[in-house]
Amino acid sequence: QKEVEQNSGPLSVPEGAIASLNCTYSDRGSQSFFWYRQYSGKSPELIMFIYSNGDKEDGRFTAQLNKASQYVSLLIRDSQPSDSATYLCAVPSGNTPLVFGKGTRLSVIA
């Protein structure tokens, strides 16, 4: 069973700051990695996915992948109060869809 680990938080950052969310995974063979955002009482929505080592940028979001260290992170620049949510890291597992981490709760303080 693949494992995905995240710090549960809460992570509090002031508005306008960079929020850094981290995730480690157990299966060295994992090839793709997903970041989902989940607001309280809502289902997850995909923010970004990354396959290659290095950085992938999309607007205020940057995903960073280091396969050697089995580490994937999500940076949120210019954090806004509306970014306050739980961020879930997910990794596909064989024929099953996704294995999710427990999520990191982010709080952006105005």
Partner 1 sequence: GAVVSQHPSRVICKSGTSVKIECRSLDFQATTMFWYRQFPKQSLMLMATSNEGSKATYEQGVEKDKFLINHASLTLSTLTVTSAHPEDSSFYICSATPDGEQFFGPGTRLTVL
Report the interface residues with partner 1, using CB under 8 A.
Answer: 8, 34, 41-46, 49, 88, 96-103
Closest approach of partner 1 to the CB of residue 24, in Å? 15
Q: How far is the CB of 16 from partner 1 (least distance, A)?
A: 28
- Which C-beta is closer to partner 1: that of 11 or that of 17? 11
DSSP string of the chain?
Answer: ---EEE----EEEETTSPEEEEEEES-TT---EEEEEE-TTS--EEEEEE-SSEEEEETTEEEEEETTTTEEEEEESS--GGG-EEEEEEEEETTEEEEEP--EEEEEE-
Asked if 82 contacts 16 with a C-beta cutoff of 8 angstroms, the reply is no
Please identify, using beta-carbon distances, which residue of 17 and 27 lies nearer to partner 1: 27
